[in-house]
Amino acid sequence: MDSLKSYLTQGTSFVKESWTELGKVHFPTPKETLQATLVVVGLVMVLALWLGLIDMGAKGFVRQIIR
């Protein structure tokens, strides 16, 4: 019976501490979310362009070697 009481006490403590930590979480505003999304999309586009240029250069280099 003591082990059950201990589990209930630990469980209750866990839930209370979790709720307290959840109160400390900063949820982004819609504006912050949009800004972060635009940064990610911009970086992905730049990296895709960079990798595309490297790929085209490597392809041309390999074609020159094969000829």
Q: Write the pLDDT tens digit of every residue in 7-34.
A: 899 999 999 999 999 999 999 999 999 9
Round the average pLDDT of the chain to a whole number and report it. 94
**Euclidean distance between the first and the last CA atom of the chain, given in angstroms as a whole number:** 83
d(CA 2, CA 14): 18
Domain ranges of the chain: 2-66
Does this model's pTM top 0.75? no
d(CA 17, CA 37): 32
